[in-house]
Amino acid sequence: MKLKLVDISYKRILYFALLILLTLNVFDSAAQQRFPKPEFETGHTQPPTLTPEPRAELLEIIDVGVLILSLSLITWFILKKRSRKGVFWMSIFSIVYFGFYREGCVCSVGSLQNITLALFLPEYKIPVTVIAFFVIPLIYTLFFGRTFCAGICPLGAIQDIFVIKPYSLKSWANSLLGLFPYIYLGLAVLYAATATDFIVCRYDPFIGIFRFNGTFFMLVIGGIFLLTSIFIARPYCRFFCPYGVLLNIVSRFSGKHMTITPTECIQCKLCENSCPFDAIQKPVLVNVLDNRRTTVKRFIQLSLIIPLLIFLGGWTGSRFHENLASVNPKVRLANVLLEENNEINEDTQVEIDAFKSSGNTEGKLYSEAASIVKDFYTGGWILGGFLGLVFGLTLAGLSRFQYRTDYTPNKGTCLSCARCMDYCPVRPGKETEFTID
């Protein structure tokens, strides 16, 4: 045993000798290795260092092609064929292709953060495919309504097949919960613009399911959303999706939006409860129109408090800028280093050690963190102001009545799923039978 120990210490001495030689820079830079590779006498050939190639770029371009094709196809199914079946099979396709085969990344929902970051950080390189995934669904929605949501977005499609027994929500609940996507969008933009984090990707509920692999948290959240979708249809799309906010706004100006009836509404009320997303607008009763004067007055009064709400929101947002900024890793590290006598856990210690070995000075870190916090102050004002505006517009919108005689889809919230079409008894060929002049 003793002999062995001596043996090892002899080797150690050899190592130290080599180390000293190295520090003296005896070897030239090309052969800067402590232990040069041996020349084998037995003719041993060394195995190659394997570096598996990433997914081929051609496949990424094909993905964009498939997106355009499937969007065109589903739009044709909705607007021309008026076929719910077609939409259903398209959603199955996109769950399989964009979900399970392509494994979900990058998706249009997440791409809005890349776009934001690219706009705010000039040196950030954004792949062309990400731009395509952001722009193409927006353009389609601008002209044909939210056909992307209907069955191309894998996140929506996977929830849609779970819609089994949807319950209608009260309109105040819809309006209130409908505010949450704006908050989520605002936060996502704030954190992407400050290059802090991509929160939409971090809290993507379905990516783990598509990959059959993910953290426990991811899979649990995904499961909760899918189970909720049985009773409250598509909860993520309606009450969380930040990209849905953009599509909602854009869809209101859509040129050829889906209609419930192929020709003219006969007021049969059959479609009234057919929408699982509460997106069908009922005809506005005449007596509501009667006190038009008071409603207009109320609308103006409510609109007047919007500037106040914007200011209040902005002020509140700016108060919280330090809390918002504390998510940023640089700000967090600077806070830890500045605070004395606090308990440092193992995780934080790793970060402190890494920072110290990186060779950056603390002064540089502090000034960087300070500038990030300053960005968050401005961002807090903008975020709060934006939310105040949204809140005010929602309030004012509650007292806005539009004269309507027919059952029509709400162009903003309608997901173009085509369910209501099957409830409409009017058939395009028999239009004369129902026409009322």
Partner 1 sequence: MSKAGENNRLDRRKFINKTVRYSLAIGVCGVGAVLAGKASKGELVWQLDPAKCVQCGRCATNCVLTPSAVKCIHVYDMCGYCDLCSGYFRVNTKDLTTGAENQLCPTSAIERKFIEDPYFEYHIDEDLCIGCGKCVKGCASFGNGSLQLQVNHSLCVNCNQCSIARDCPAEAFSRVPADKAYSFKGFNRDELI
- Establish if 437 lies at the interface with partner 1 (CB under 8 A): no
Q: Please pick, from the candidates 350, 400, 425, 433, the single residue that binds partner 1 as defined by CB under 8 A.
A: 350
Note whether 260 and 280 are within 8 A (CB): yes
Note whether 426 and 266 are within 8 A (CB): yes
Q: Please pick, from the candidates 6, 21, 34, 101, the single residue that binds partner 1 as defined by CB under 8 A.
A: 34
- Establish if 37 lies at the interface with partner 1 (CB under 8 A): yes
- Nearer to partner 1 by C-beta: 29 or 341? 29
Q: Please pick, from the candidates 3, 5, 26, 436, the single residue that binds partner 1 as defined by CB under 8 A.
A: 5
Strand, helix or coil for residue 337? helix
- Contact track, partner 1, 174-213, x by CB under 8 A: -----------------------xx--xx----xx--x-x
Q: Please pick, from the candidates 79, 92, 126, 270, the single residue that binds partner 1 as defined by CB under 8 A.
A: 126
- Nearer to partner 1 by C-beta: 5 or 24? 5
- Establish if 40 lies at the interface with partner 1 (CB under 8 A): yes
- Contact track, partner 1, 267-286, x by CB under 8 A: --------------------
Stretch that binds partner 1, among 30-38, 150-158, 175-183, 229-237 (CB under 8 A): 30-38
Q: Please pick, from the candidates 42, 287, 345, 361, the single residue that binds partner 1 as defined by CB under 8 A.
A: 42
Q: Terminal CA-to-CA distance of the chain, rounded, Å? A: 108
The beta-carbon contacts of 73-76 under 8 Å, at least 24 apart in sequence, are 74/147, 74/150, 74/151, 74/152, 75/140, 75/144, 75/147
What b-and-e string marks burial along 67-89, b requiring 16 or more CB atoms within 10 Å of the CB? beebbebbbebbbeebbbebbbe
Task: Provide CB contacts within 8 A for 70, sequence distance 6+.
Answer: 90, 93, 94, 97, 152
Shortest Cβ distance from residue 202 to partner 1 (Å)? Answer: 7
Shortest Cβ distance from residue 356 to partner 1 (Å)? Answer: 10
- Establish if 434 lies at the interface with partner 1 (CB under 8 A): no
Strand, helix or coil for residue 281? strand
- Contact track, partner 1, 60-79, x by CB under 8 A: x-------------------
The tokens for 426 are 């009017």
Residues 166 and 284: their CA atoms lie apart, in Å, by 24
The tokens for 23 are 């520090």
The residue among 247, 221, 270 whose CA lies nearest residue 416 is 247
